[in-house]
Amino acid sequence: MGPVSDMVVSTIGDSILVELGMHTGFELSVRVANDLVFDKPIKHIVPIHSKRLETTGVKVLLITLKYKHTMSDAALGFYRSSLHTDSSLFSAVKDYLAVEKGWFSPYLFASGRRPIIPRNLKPDIIFCHGPFLSGDYRIGETLLAEAASVIALCNAPDPVPAPEPEPSSLAELRKGLSELSIPNLASVFHRSRSPSPVPDAALASPPPPPPPRRMLITVLGLRPHRALWTSSARPSESVLNYILLNGCPALVVPVKSGAPLVAWDGMTLAQLWEIVLPAADGARSPGGKFEGVVDIVFEFVDLCIDWARVVVASPEDTNGAVGSTGALTEHEESAEGNEKSANGDGDASGRAKEALKDAITLLVAAAIRSKESKDARKELDADRSGIAMWRIP
């Protein structure tokens, strides 16, 4: 057991308590992998059989999430990829023993959000839009901060300005009140009519745009507190163990304002361990299951991502210091049709999509390769682990 450190993150309505448990060998991996994004295409830097994707250690975080609401049904949504030959979300036969698609449900249930997943559904991705807890943002940010390596396809948000200090004494408050200007009422009575109403500035101005959001995509394992799932759902607080793998990079992408609060892949880590990786980069896996998982995750993230804020390296950037966004400039938009016929991947939008798919490929490959780690097999419950997503500021 490694050293234990406590961290309390306060929010408006919720707070989380993080206890860092075992993390033997976790810090030996690469800390930040942003160079994979701003230097060259990711697949040219890190192949799927690279040692960077080898899991040699795990980190266990015991996170207590406090909330202030009663138990209610979670607002779940279900996504099935168009890549299937059977695109129907509903199955003709109810499989009462197939519970793998709800491997992430303890996270919602322990925080007072009852997940209801019908047995006759066969979704690829399950996502949740509420009830919203600000502690969800804090947990996502904590998992990102504790990740061994990060592939960021967007810029970090600007720091929040500190609020103005309140008057520290009664004298300062009285001074502020004395400086208030009171209108002269005598000039009002001699007017022939009442003045026209002046619209309020707050009502006349349009509402500010919603703040930009990001999405964290990571391989995660859940474990109950004190061996029983019922012990994790305490009154007004959730206590769960979150397990991170040092060989699995965390992926951060910009998303639109309507992106889900949390989401997870319906395949558990135990099911991912049964997939065979391609023999080499560029080759196809036996049966094509590996490519199928990558395409499904990419298709779902494509619906949520804000491509205008994606940051990738342009072909002219060789020093890896400056990247370009995925948004097309006016010149690129005018010449987009000619460029697609000559080089479909040469435009900014094509580079952004290629970078995202390469990052998801590494994430899925690292999840599959984690079966070779003794620490991962010892600490993880493979049936309660998989690919999870958090919306974060």
pLDDT of 200-253, one tens digit each? 665 667 777 888 899 999 999 999 888 788 888 888 888 999 999 999 999 999
Q: Looking at 27-41, 93-107, 349-363, which range is the least confident one?
A: 27-41
Handedness of CA 283, 294, 348, 145 (dihedral sign): negative
Does residue 307 come out as left (phi exceeding 0), alpha (psi in the -120 to 50 range) or beta? alpha
Query: Bigger pLDDT: 27 or 277?
Result: 277
Please answer whether residues 147 and 249 qualify as being in contact, where contact means their C-beta atoms are separated by less than 8 angstroms.
yes
Q: Minimal CA–CA distance to 72: which of 109, 110, 113, 108?
A: 113
Over 245-286, what HEC string results? ECCCCEEEEEECCCCCCEEEEEEEHHHHCCCCCCCCCCCCCH
Please answer whether residues 248 and 368 qualify as being in contact, where contact means their C-beta atoms are separated by less than 8 angstroms.
no
pLDDT for the residue numbered 221: 94
pLDDT of 79-124, one tens digit each? 998 888 777 777 666 666 667 888 999 999 988 899 988 888 888 9
pLDDT for the residue numbered 87: 73
pLDDT for the residue numbered 325: 46
Please answer whether residues 356 and 305 qualify as being in contact, where contact means their C-beta atoms are separated by less than 8 angstroms.
yes
